[in-house]
Amino acid sequence: MNNVLTIKATITVENTGKVIDTLDDWGCAIGNNNYIKEPDVETYYIDIPGTDGFLDGSEAITGRTIYKSREIDILLGGKKPREDWDSFISNIRGQLHGKNVRVTFSNDPAYFWTGRAYITDFDRSREVGQFHLSIPKADPYKYSLADSTEDWLWDPFDFETGVIDQGAGITISGSGSYTVCAGDIAIVPVLNVKSIGSTGLKVTGCGETYTLTLGRNRFPDIVVFGTDETLEFSGSGTLDIVYRRGSL
């Protein structure tokens, strides 16, 4: 495991786009190892009279495990002049407290975590101070920095486990197909249709056929999980197939 003091976080405030490097911009290092907690699992147990134990119906509806949220709690600390700490913490609260953020850690640079952040438990002893950047209800999954239409990045890409998706600028003339490879999370692709020819444009996926319209098309019953799914197109037009991979 990397020395925790060499790990930093990059925080993006979603409503402003402001990007903060905790080490370069704040001079604060991460002081704990267990900053990403385990995800909460949605469970449903049925008590049947006259039987031992319970009937576990947790996966009955979706056929897969559902995760609700997880806690991220980052301890940050550094050294500053004593008189600077109060204004420093006040400024950080103004930037982040109660805001939705994306967080990327330097030891896992291909993914980001997301949720509503809070600044808590500030404490100072002379020049040394520390505080917690907490996301108590973070999304249970971390997500790839690049979605299926964006260029994948060389530096953080894992050549052993990574998947290169190429969903941008797909042209359909008569017929065509696109395979969404299954990953660690359920994928519901969004079909952003840019143009439709005179013959119209349809897609078949997960056993159902849908007529596409210009703009954003999303069909909750087209879910890719466990096995790859090939989307079959008929008609003519151009579109992007947009989705983002994730992992626990």
The tens digit of pLDDT for each residue in 97-138 reads 999 999 999 989 889 999 999 999 988 888 898 999 999 999
CA pair distance 188, 217, nearest whole angstrom: 11
Specify whether 118 is located in the same domain as 195. no
> Which residue among 91, 121, 140 closes a domain?
140
**How many domains would you assign to the chain?**
2
What average pLDDT does range 145-173 have in this prediction? 74
In this structure, the answer to whether residues 35 and 74 fall within a common structural domain is: yes
Q: What is the pLDDT of residue 2?
A: 47
Domain of 178: which CATH number? 2.60.120
Q: Output phi, psi for 54, to 5 deg.
A: -130, 155
**Residue 179, domain extent:** 170-247
Residues 6 or more apart whose Cβ sits within 8 Å of residue 233? 172, 175, 176, 177, 178, 201, 202, 203, 204
- Domain boundary among the residues 140, 160, 185 is at 140
The reported pLDDT for the residue numbered 48 is: 83
Q: Which CATH number fits the domain that encloses residue 115?
A: 2.40.30.200
Is residue 146, in this structure, part of any structural domain at all?
Answer: no
Please check whether residue 26 lies inside any domain of the structure.
yes
Whether residue 241 sits in one domain with residue 124: no
Element (H, E) at 210: strand 208-211
In-domain check, residue 147: no
Segment 214-222 shows an average pLDDT of 96
pLDDT in tens, 199-209: 999 999 999 99
* Max mean pLDDT range (3-12, 60-69, 89-98, 122-131): 89-98
Asked if residue 159 belongs to a domain, the reply is no
pLDDT score at 177: 94
116: in domain: yes
Strand locations in 99-228 (E) = 100-105, 111-116, 118-125, 128-138, 142-144, 170-180, 190-205, 208-211, 215-218
Domain match, 176 and 232 both: yes
159 pLDDT higher than 90: no
Q: Look at residue 5 and tell me whether its pLDDT is greater than 60.
A: no
pLDDT at residue 1, as a whole number: 41
Q: Tokens 């031992």 — which residue?
A: 52
207 vs 3 pLDDT, higher one: 207
Q: Do 136 and 183 share a structural domain? A: no
pLDDT, tens only, 78-87: 888 988 889 9
Q: Check residue 157 and give its pLDDT.
A: 55
61 with 135, same domain?
yes
Asked if 115 and 39 sit in the same domain, the reply is yes
Q: Do residues 31 and 135 share a domain?
A: yes
The whole-angstrom separation of Cα 226 and Cα 229 is: 9
Query: Is residue 24 a part of any domain in this protein?
Result: yes
Report pLDDT digits (tens) over 23-49. Answer: 999 999 998 888 999 999 888 778 888
Q: What is the pLDDT of residue 147?
A: 83
CA distances from 100 to 10, 116, 134, 142, 169 (A): 14, 4, 11, 15, 31
Do 135 and 204 belong to one domain?
Answer: no
**Residue 134, Cβ density class (10 Å: 0-12 exposed, 13-18 middle, ≥19 buried):** buried
Same domain, 204 and 133: no
pLDDT of 7 > 60? The answer is yes
**Of 86, 121, 140, which marks where a domain is finished?**
140
